[in-house]
Chains A and B, each alone.
Chain A
Amino acid sequence: MNDLRVKFEKTGRAAYISHLDLMRTFQRVFIRSGIALKHSEGFNPHPRISVILPLPLGCRGFGEFMDIETKSVVEPTALIAGINEFMPEGIRALDAAHPVMKPGQIKYARWVIELLYDETGARNHAERIKELFSKESLLISRKTKRGVSEFDLKPYTENLAVSAEDRNICIKGILSAQEPSVSPALVMNAIRKYLPDCAAFTGVCSRISLYDGAMSDFY
């Protein structure tokens, strides 16, 4: 009963902490907070922390999860308060509870993709992006372990809503989270490929929440 699933956010400057660095950071946070974690057996024991579906570098996360195993029983509220005191800027534990679902059950993720332009005219771009998203298929090239291949993005996106102001466009929607995992970078690549006139943006991406196959919140 020492298993806990901690929900946390990773925003602001912390978005630029890579997955490997995040693992190291969490290990140190737990040591600083004095909450001892169980360690793996073996020659080179390491603490039991696992971050579920790590965010791509540079993306913000508002409902991220890590599974941990503590040495002794810790009350979830005490754990949250305990580690939050020792976090770097931008990372904050929001909730903790015993895990129910298996990480493999995650199927979808809700994303917000903001495209920031230096020039005005984003509203026009937004119309064309809407049009692009309404097509039957969105073929892009994707790098996988087996090399570069053609990939149709369309079946793995849902309800992509596009809104715009003068200098920015906001895309909200659901992307497949696993099998295949579709990162917002692929959506931006599709825009860059099919609408090169609309490509002069900086993308700021946020993952809002994770769901299972029935669109129930992961917990």
Chain B
Amino acid sequence: MDPRIEKLLTQVEKPARYTGGEYGEIIKDKDSVNLRFALCFPDIYEIGMSNLGIRILYGVLNSMDDVWCERVFEPWRDMSDLMRKNNVPLWALESGDPIKDFDIIGFSVGYEMSYPGVLDMLTLAGLPLRSADRESLSPLIFAGGTCMYNCEPIADFIDLAVIGEGEEADPELVTLFTEAKRNGLSKKEFLRRAAHIDGIYVPSLYNAEYSETGVINSITANEGAPEKVRKRLIGNIDKSFFPVRDIVPSTEIVHDRAVLELFRGCIRGCRFCQAGFVYRPVRSKSVQTLIEQGISALKNSGYQEISLSSLSSSDYRGLNELCDGLLDYCEPSMTRLSLPSLRADNFSMELMKRVQKVRRSALTFAPEAGSQRLRDIINKNITEEDLLNSCRNAFEGGWTAVKLYFMLGLPTETDEDVLQIADLTYKVLECFKKYASNKARGINITVSTSCFIPKPMTPFQWEAQVDIEEYSRRTRLLRDRLRSRSITYNWHDPRTGFVEAVLARGDRRLAPALESLVSRQGGLQAWDEYFDYDGWLECFRKNGIEPSFYATRERNTDEILPWSIISDGVNDSYLLRELERAKRGETTPDCREKCSGCGASLMAESGVCDE
């Protein structure tokens, strides 16, 4: 190991975050590969290594013989301070080499609050932040992940963005880059060509003009760049790469277990949920594939827990059969099967009882809104009856802890809606008192509220967020009603939610504010320890940004939105229709019951989704 790095390791907490060397890590001979790829995640090791996307991309890129893909995470503050003090540039875990000398640096960005992390990592690497200030072809700096459906706040920093599923687009991008490097192409020429790969968005080839009121007048595509950039997606997910022989971290991470991805997309269409729209169409894996992948992932890793992952696992058609197949392996080997993202219906509850024989974690439900009126508006098709039936079922079966998740600040929310969150919570408590098999143990109900954040590519993309004071008032209103020893109430800091809302629907004019912010308070802004709201406001003000313009302003539906070049395959007309239905309090049936014609089926390999 580089003695300069080793010197820092002896001075930080949790040094295993920075060493690499885990079982399953891929080491190649750096002289025999053509391309060095730094796969970056703008948060710490424990978070990044828990991300399935990172693990898939690591496997896909390293399956290319002449590419060596290595991992890079954002250092915690103790380490980044030492790196700056000792002039040690950011390194990749596998080789310990500085990433500034790599060919390609790719970020996976799934959370807007990690934008500062991207800039923090570029700074630590010793690279100029702005794409325009990096003249040579290498290192090419790009980003992918869900946030890229509106990458405008970081558009001036990255050379390009991958829209949609990276395992499909990245190898093509890497191949084009290798050719460009061999032929000595300029960065400009390379970017012009890359813009013609499906799913590649090159921000520098587009420019926006703004009106006096600050809204976008026009966005122009230059130098032959496409007018629309449509997302990439895996056609046949059953045959796509899945990491069954993977890195096993030597230090505990957040999701320290094997993971199985059941399907992508979601049939539900909750109107606030960005993932529910951008991952369309629904594509499922077969039960057989999943059982095989699950068992080999467990055998190869030595994990004693496997978790089923998807946006709504109860909607997986073969869920029973899959659980049976996995339990045949799990039970004798003392391996735990965990099933997050279950719906509050009886079928799911029976399944929960079956898989959780020994350790019973808290049951988690996400009604999202307290009143049926508001649940209809957001198209969260879960009724009070469903929820209470499931709770009764669980309490009779011995469960004594329930977590309930809600959002505050949803469109049209009134005080009555807020107070109905409390009513619903007390109904759950009553249900326990009436039906619990072990009443003496008492119950723990945890109610959590987060702040509704209007996201691009959803029917609520035009909506206003409620402001911080109003949000706090609603939190207090609810808190005062939730005074019971059995109930714990947690709420999110509305200030983080406000900044997240600014970034989610932001445009390129935010770039200087992000630069100021990172030089002032670094990255790690998703962490309470380092989130500094006043610092954000100061950086917005200094750079002439009015944050409420982005967060709390309702847009006209004919306004040109910053992400209007990007398409996830769902038609704008569909989003508008959904918005209107929401305003009328009408629900939309799920995709399995009736296709509502969003447009995404055209992107499915067979032309039909959810087969």
Instruction: Let me know if B16 and A18 touch, CB within 8 A.
Output: yes
Chain B residues with CB under 8 A of A12:
1, 21
The yes or no answer to B10 lying at the interface (CB within 8 A) is yes
Q: CA–CA, A18 to B19, complex, Å?
A: 13
The CB with the most chain B CB atoms within 10 A, among A25, A28, A31, A87, is that of A31
The yes or no answer to A213 lying at the interface (CB within 8 A) is no
The yes or no answer to A74 lying at the interface (CB within 8 A) is no
Instruction: Let me know if A32 and B299 touch, CB within 8 A.
Output: yes
- Give a binary string over B243-285; 1 marks a CB under 8 Å from any A CB, 0 the rest: 0000010111000000000000000000000000000000000
Instruction: Let me know if B251 and A86 touch, CB within 8 A.
Output: no
The listed residue (A28, A39, A203) touching B301 by CB distance below 8 A is A28
Q: CA–CA, A199 to B324, complex, Å?
A: 62
- Give a binary string over B287-306; 1 marks a CB under 8 Å from any A CB, 0 the rest: 00000000000011111100
Query: Closest CB of chain A to B287's CB: distance in Å?
Result: 25
Instruction: Let me know if B21 and A88 touch, CB within 8 A.
Output: yes
The yes or no answer to B334 lying at the interface (CB within 8 A) is yes
Chain B residues with CB under 8 A of A32:
23, 299-302
Instruction: Let me know if A89 and B25 touch, CB within 8 A.
Output: yes
Chain B residues with CB under 8 A of A18:
14, 16, 251
Instruction: Let me know if B302 and A30 touch, CB within 8 A.
Output: yes
Q: In chain A between 162 and 213, which residues have their CB closer than 8 angstroms to a CB of chain B?
A: 202-204
Total chain A interface residues with beta-carbon distance under 8 A: 29
The yes or no answer to A24 lying at the interface (CB within 8 A) is yes
Q: In chain B between 5 and 21, which residues have their CB closer than 8 angstroms to a CB of chain A?
A: 6-7, 9-10, 14-16, 18-21
Q: CA–CA, A31 to B248, complex, Å?
A: 13
**Quick one: given A12-B1, A31-B304, A58-B15, are A88 and B22 in contact (CB under 8 Å)?**
yes
The yes or no answer to B224 lying at the interface (CB within 8 A) is no
Q: CA–CA, A82 to B3, complex, Å?
A: 33
**Nearest opposing residue in chain A for B247, CB measure:** A88
Chain B residues with CB under 8 A of A24:
252
Instruction: Let me know if A13 and B10 touch, CB within 8 A.
Output: no
Chain A residues with CB under 8 A of B25:
89
Q: CA–CA, A14 to B20, complex, Å?
A: 9
Query: Closest CB of chain A to B3's CB: distance in Å?
Result: 7
Q: In chain A between 45 and 67, which residues have their CB closer than 8 angstroms to a CB of chain B?
A: 45, 57-58
Chain A residues with CB under 8 A of B333:
31
Instruction: Let me know if B15 and A57 touch, CB within 8 A.
Output: yes
Q: CA–CA, A20 to B21, complex, Å?
A: 17
Chain B residues with CB under 8 A of A204:
6
Instruction: Let me know if B21 and A89 touch, CB within 8 A.
Output: yes
The yes or no answer to A136 lying at the interface (CB within 8 A) is no
Q: CA–CA, A203 to B303, complex, Å?
A: 35
Query: Closest CB of chain A to B95's CB: distance in Å?
Result: 12
Instruction: Let me know if B10 and A202 touch, CB within 8 A.
Output: yes
The yes or no answer to A27 lying at the interface (CB within 8 A) is yes
Instruction: Let me know if A88 and B9 touch, CB within 8 A.
Output: no
Instruction: Let me know if A87 and B23 touch, CB within 8 A.
Output: yes
Q: CA–CA, A12 to B27, complex, Å?
A: 15
Query: Closest CB of chain B to A140's CB: distance in Å?
Result: 19
Instruction: Let me know if B300 and A14 touch, CB within 8 A.
Output: no
**Quick one: given A16-B15, A28-B302, A31-B302, are A21 and B251 in contact (CB under 8 Å)?**
yes
**Quick one: given A17-B250, A86-B23, A202-B7, are A45 and B334 in contact (CB under 8 Å)?**
yes
The yes or no answer to A160 lying at the interface (CB within 8 A) is no
The yes or no answer to A116 lying at the interface (CB within 8 A) is yes
Hey, which bits of chain B sit against chain A, CB under 8 A?
1, 3, 6-7, 9-10, 14-16, 18-23, 25, 248, 250-252, 299-304, 333-334
Hey, which bits of chain A sit against chain B, CB under 8 A?
12-14, 16-18, 20-21, 24-25, 27-32, 39, 45, 57-58, 86-90, 116, 202-204
Q: What 3 A-B pairs come out closest when comparing CB atoms?
A: A28-B302, A13-B21, A31-B302
